Amino acid sequence: MQVEHTVSDYDEDLRFLTQKISAMGGQAERMVERAIDALIRSDHKLAETVVADDIVLDNGQRDIDEKAVLVIVKRQPMAQDLREIIGAIRISADLERIGDLGKNIAKRVSVVTEYRQPVSFYRGLQALTDLALTQLKFVLDAYSTRSISQIEVVRDRDDQTDAKYTSLFRELLTYMMEDPRNITPCTHLLFCAKNLERIGDHATNIAETVYYISTGEQMPIERPKDDTSHEVTITKG
């Protein structure tokens, strides 16, 4: 009985980590969705909600870190279980950072909406958001099912996210060239776009961690992990 009891407590400890990660994942998705929504619809109230919600992810990461260390000390886990725990530490750090990036987008809402633009202006940003959030949902599903059969797909999709970011970078720079009144809002939108591109990178990190949890190996073949926006030059035509 003693042993059974211990094992079940142990399972509960691991379940705590998994469930907390899923909750953080849902929260991170919601924050990013709402931040972009607030930006496009000039919804200051919604933006404030996003900024206030960030603390939930900060606390989530802290809880996971503390629990993880406690479980390692108490249970002295081996192999797969230890990977689960180390994986939870890593993924929660990525999710906390995604929350920061969402919050940073939300904080730019008031400046950007001073220079209100038609919704079509944000089409590129919305498309980039959709790509990044699809990635995030996909890797969170992979985490909850521990399924790595499709995980390589994440990297290809990250290339698409990078390409979309680079084209949006070019587009925003063009708007700035066309009219100096666009410089302030477009600069802030450039940073929003960069944040979305980074969210895609964090999703890819999570995919790599899921792979590591399931296999004990690092994911093969180094991904280039970078967009090409650093090469973009726009000259007045």
* Minimum CB–partner distance for residue 32 and its own copies (Å): 16
Residue type at position 63: D
End-to-end CA distance of the chain: 79
**Segment 34 to 93, residues that bind its own copies, using CB under 8 A:** 58, 62, 65, 68-69, 72-73, 76, 78-79, 82-83, 86, 89-90, 93
8-state DSSP, 115 = T
Residue 3, interface with its own copies (CB under 8 A)? no
Candidate list 134, 141, 148, 191; residue touching its own copies; CB under 8 A: 191
Kindly report the three-state secondary structure assignment for every residue of 46-95.
HHHHHHHHHHHHHHHHHHHHHHHHHHHHHHCCCHHHHHHHHHHHHHHHHH
Which two tokens mark 134? 């699809």
User: Between 16 and 175, whose beta carbon lies closer to its own copies?
Assistant: 175
Helix axes 123-145, 183-215, angle to 10 degrees: 20
Which of the stretches 13-21, 142-150, 156-164, 185-193 binds its own copies when contact is defined by CB under 8 A? 185-193
Task: Of 27, 146, 140, 132, give the one whose Cα is nearest residue 91.
Answer: 140
With CB under 8 A as the contact rule, which of the stretches 29-37, 141-149, 158-166, 189-197 interacts with its own copies? 189-197
Binds its own copies by CB under 8 A, chosen from 20, 34, 108, 202: 108
Contact call for residues 193 and 173 (beta carbons, < 8 A): no
Of 150 and 228, nearer to its own copies (C-beta) is: 228
Are the C-beta atoms of residues 132 and 199 closer than 8 Å to each other? Answer: yes
d(CA 190, CA 10): 46
- Candidates 7, 153, 163, 183; binder of its own copies (CB under 8 A) is 183
Site for its own copies in 197-236 (CB under 8 A): 218, 222, 225-226, 230-236
Q: Which of 188, 207, 214, 219 binds its own copies (CB under 8 A)?
A: 188
Applying CB under 8 A, among 35, 101, 133, 176 the residue interacting with its own copies is: 176
The closest alpha carbon to 162, from 62, 237, 91, 229, belongs to 229
Under the binding rule (CB under 8 A), the answer on residue 180 touching its own copies is: yes
H-helix or E-strand containing 138? helix 123-145
Residues at the interface with its own copies (CB under 8 A): 58, 62, 65, 68-69, 72-73, 76, 78-79, 82-83, 86, 89-90, 93, 100, 104, 107-108, 110-111, 114, 173, 176-177, 180-181, 183-184, 187-188, 190-191, 194, 218, 222, 225-226, 230-236
